[in-house]
Amino acid sequence: MNHKYFIQMHLQSIGVFKPLCAVAGLALTLGLTVTPAAADPVDGFYLSGSAALADIRDQTIDSVDTRFGPQPGGYLSTDKGYGGGIAAGFGFGNGLRTELEFSYRRASFDQATAGALTDATTDGHFSQKSLFANAYFDFTIAESPITPYVGAGLGISRVSWNDAISYNATERVGHDSSDTAAAAQFMIGASYAIPADQRWTISTELRHTRILSDLKFDGRVLQSRFGSFPITTNVSDTYRNEVVLTLRRAF
């Protein structure tokens, strides 16, 4: 099985990420018009840019603090998300490389359940800005332009509920708030060295990113049988799975 076919089939197995698969397939087709050459370990400074399609899992609402006492929790769900990132890194020539990455993800809200609201329609959008220190190890394969790799990162994320309005026939609840917490991520993927200029590589990876502590979002009940009053929504278990396509340039 040739490299182009293998990578395209691997990406296309995740149906929700078909647009990204098409971009990756086009890039690989252009790169493979030149006879492949073995990839060298990254040795020195590099810059990269990435695009991502994300599956942001339902955020668990543990409870809602109100003037009447804690109210039951539930969940807050989003549609599929997207985003991008930039990174600056250094390869040590032995397969190990480290980098500093800034990333941004965004997704529209879908539904929420908490307190008196059950499966309530939710407008607004989720966003997450993150700064990570990542470390990767590249597994160089003799006479192959494809380099599998694994990686992990630790950092900090700013999670925002932007103009979030959850509502049903009798109640409306709004949030426009942010909180910051430590985060971690884990990556597995493969990069392809473009034969015409091996300083350029294209990589595709699966990534899991998770918030490491609970979050609090200030909001307000805008309409209810008890009137309007402030609330604080307590959230845990915030994470996402995604496919990331990266273009890297070594110097």
How many of the other CB atoms lie within 10 Å of CB of 108?
A: 14
Residues in the chain: 251
Burial of 230 (0-12, 13-18, 19+ CB in 10 A): exposed
User: What is the span of the domain harbouring residue 83?
Assistant: 3-250
Contact 176, 218 (CB under 8 A): no
For 73-95, write each residue's pLDDT tens digit. Answer: 999 999 999 999 999 999 999 99
Q: Helix, strand or coil for residue 29?
A: helix
User: Average pLDDT by consecutive 10-residue portion of the chain (251 residues)?
Assistant: 42 46 46 58 96 97 94 96 98 96 98 92 98 97 92 98 95 97 98 92 98 97 94 96 98 95
Q: Which helix (H) or strand (E) holds 149?
A: strand 146-167
**Closest CA relative to residue 75, chosen from 250, 232, 237, 240:** 237
Q: pLDDT at position 33, please?
A: 45
Q: How many CB atoms lie within 10 A of CB 186?
A: 14
Number of domains comprising the chain: 1
pTM: 0.82
pLDDT of residue 40: 82
Of 109, 230, 118, 234, nearest to 171 by C-alpha is 118
